[in-house]
Copies of this chain bind each other. A is one copy, B any other.
Amino acid sequence: MAELSYLEASKQAIAEEMRRDPMVWALGEDLGRGGVSGQYKGLIDEFGPNRIADTPISEAAIMGAAIGAAMMGTRPVVEMRFSDFALCAIDELVNQAAKARYMFGGQARVPVVVREPVGMRGSAAAQHSQSLEAWYAHIPGLIVILPSTPADNKGLLKAAIRCDDPVVYMEHKGLWALEGEVPDDDDYLVPIGKARKVRQGNDLTIVTWSATVHTAAEAATQLSAQRDIEVDLIDLRTLWPWDVRAVLESVERTGRLLVIHEAVKTGGFGAEIIATIAERGPRLKAPLRRLGAPRVPIPYSPPLEKLMKITPRQIVETAKVQMQA
């Protein structure tokens, strides 16, 4: 175990996988100087410019080329800088990467990992703050992962790189500096599709992912300390496939479910979770609930941006309402 940042953990994952498999390479803008947030810093020294490849500002070609290179047996890690810019490469990701294996009748595999950092951070405004994970979960063929801790950002990224399916891998921009214990193990893999129990409780199930896990954990601490409300807090970690079993087990125990995400509430993946649980018809002590951003583009000014974010206080208030229902 070592204390690493979320950023360092991802870099360790890439370095280990690149050492392990010469077919792994990374491509994206500015990677030679470390990438926009330093996620690749120093890798070029070990692996050289062919495997830590700078690219033109050509998101569509970055994705398209990665697909062709993946079909030919390499394992590209595609860096999209921010998930917002992946919108310049959606045809490639959704019409090509996600469908190639299927429409070619199983002849192709597209083992790409598409890194698309999400989320609000410091007045990044409407075109640099989006969390569109729900889109990808809706697309057959894609896997969707959103790590929330340094350890997961090692274990899930390694699992994603070893996976033969195209993976949309969404780190959160606000978590790069977060520190935590990370296993040194070269083969430390976190299984795709398994949720993580952050905190055990019997009163209210909270399901969330990415940076909001930390907001929810803070709220859970407050709820326990101030109200004796014990939250069963689940970090979903992967949206597709998602851990229905873990969520269902918890909700059957607590009778209460709150799903929280930073993304816009309307049409967010929280809806899928609520709908799936509602369809199973478990016995409930309170209506199922979601918290998410309003259906508003992310504003720039700090106090306005703050209004778009889920706060511990909101979670506490919502939980109290659910406990009273």
Residues of A within 8 A of B (CB): 84-85, 87-88, 90-91, 94-95, 98-99, 102-103, 125-127, 132, 134-135, 137-141, 240, 263-264, 266-272, 274-276, 278-281, 286-290, 294-297, 299-300, 325
Contacts and interface: CB of A to CB of B under 8 A. Distances in A.
Nearest to A288: B278
Contacts of A95: 84, 87, 126-127
Contacts of A299: 102
A279 B325 CA distance: 12
Work out how many copies of this chain go into the complex. 2
A263 B87 CA distance: 21
A146 to B, nearest CB: 14
A98 B286 CA distance: 36
Contacts of A98: 297
A310 B111 CA distance: 32
A132 B141 contact: no
Given A87-B94, A274-B275, 5 more contacts: A87-B90, A134-B267, A135-B138, A138-B267, A141-B297
A87 B99 CA distance: 14
A142 B70 CA distance: 35
Nearest to A281: B287
Nearest to A295: B140
B268 A138 contact: yes
Contacts of A267: 134-135, 137-138, 269, 271-272
Given A279-B274, A290-B279, A296 B87 contact: no
